[in-house]
Chains A and B, each alone.
Chain A
Amino acid sequence: MGKYIVRRLLTAIPTILVISFIIFAIVDLSPSDPTGNLPLTIPPEVRQKIREALGADDPFVVKYVKWLQQFFISEPLNFIESVFDVTFPGSEDRVRVISWATRGPVIDIIVERLPQTLWVVGSSYVLGVLIAVPVGVFSAYKQYSIFDQVGTFLMMIGFSVPTFFTGLMFIIIYSVNLKWFPSVYDTTLVVTDMETLQLQLRQMFMPVTVLTLYTTAQMSRYTRASTLENLQQDYIRTARSKGLTERVVVMTHAVRNSLIPVVTLIALGIPGIFAGALITEQIFRVNGIGQYLIIAIQGGDLPTVQTVTFIFAVLVVLFNIVADVLYGILDPRVTYS
């Protein structure tokens, strides 16, 4: 097993490098100018100086290698320094990935915005999974019952209606008409007592519900299909015929096997948390990572776009490996060759 993980991680390195090259190259094609958003009164010579200082005019290869060095060497070193409170030699003149818009390190802004994304999107993902698994299992166990029919119909609706429409409808109903929940997420809110906790929960309600609906629909469809397949297997008949109670047959025999593919799907969906947050964060003005990427794209802030997009890609590759490893741990029939 350890060997397998090491081999997968090693083979992931070339993949990640190729992806980093593709993303860097595509984004670099963009005609964006780091001085584009500055006041028009700045003379061209100064603009040229700024461009040189940010390295915007370097040849493509130089920019790419510089970025690789900044991302894979400087940033991890910085991270270690800040976490363990140590200083490596040369930490003063280490160059980090600098945003063209804020002129500050991109990673610092990501770290600042990460909690909002994790709170809103992460909690809805956990909630969605917690609801979806029992619903899916029960729906499959009572196939063709009223619960199953209504359930699958609702799952299909939740799966088909895009989050940007549910989000806007929620705002119309709950913010504009009923005035129950605020439509804009206030990030400056610090939870200190019961009152602020209540405010925090209220402002989280709509984005979390919208995303939870979508996750639940997707996951329960999958759980239902997987459980149905297992309930028809011979070993279930064997379990019933040797006189086990229905509870044991379903909970210990069927569900445990049905959840193997579901667990891998949950792992595969985690990188999607960040990408899926793009739209929801935009609707409810949550200043998380997704909104940061949109701002960077609209403002032509190339280093930010490259870095954030690449982090998404690394997450996808990593969680693919996690899913495969989990599959092997959970399902003894899978052998690593």
Chain B
Amino acid sequence: MSASMDNLSSDGRTLWGEAWRRLRRNRLAMICLWIVGFYTVLALYGEGVYRWHQWRDITPSYQRANLDKQYLEPSPLRQPFAAERVDSQTGETVVLSGWSRLRSGMSNLLTHPMGTDGLGRDVFQRLVQGTRIAYQVGIITSLIAIPIGVLLGCLAGYFGGRTDDFIVWLYSTFAAIPGLLFILAIAMVVGQGLLGVYLGIGLTMWVGLCRLIRGEVIKHKDRPYVTAAHALGVGHTRIIFRHILPNVFHVVIVTFTLRFPAAIGTEVFLSFLGIGVQGEPSWGIMISNARLRLWHGVWWEMAFVTAAIFFIVLAFNLLGDALRDALDPRLREGGESS
């Protein structure tokens, strides 16, 4: 009898493992994953800088006005390797050469690589802090939205009937409120600032996920493996969370990847309007500040911030699409009878 085991596929692979293998084959997805990873490192670095300043109880440089350094261009445009340099203390012109020229050039390159803004603050540092805020918003809103969406979606899909009616009514009501107005209303209640952003985005974002999960659960609840679980005497809670949920969890992952940049976009927009982040360098606030001097040729703040937003949104969206392809069971090799 054990001889019949020979035709087992050669090595043990989970379905998640296979999905990862498929994702690896998609070059664009891997590039996007690297970009997302890069932003994540940037956000963690920003968090470190923020925490360090908080711990030392000093105002970080990206918050401090330094009017001597207003509107410095990005360092490569400031002729960092110039042979002459004005000594800041004596006011004399110093001629540099050779090794010291290279050294001062390198240090010039590293100071304000993306220039400074109207208050002389380093654009790069502020961009990093913006990344930190964006990640915070993306993660915390997901932490609010995913549990609500998954739980309600599972309950609605699994139990059907009255439960389903109520939950569908609930999310239809939420979906019918114009998103921005809802967020504004929440900002009115809890006050401006990050809390309002978290709640506003989090409490609207669960709707889409809930609807998707409900649909998937409805699809799965009459599958033979669920019937088998019923016949074995497995309880409802266990069937929902141990049997159905793992089989529909790919929806959560894909939705998370697609909603994350959407949440970031909303945060930027709210901060741009002035009802979002307060007193911290969010991307939205940076854009709002940058537009004032844009027509005077101060392009760098606007350019770098929009590029940062562009790449993170693009990377997350492409990654989300690739994940959907990789995780979709219908494309699974060997085919499932369904």
A and B: partners?
no
B residues in contact (CB < 8 Å) with A: none
A residues in contact (CB < 8 Å) with B: none
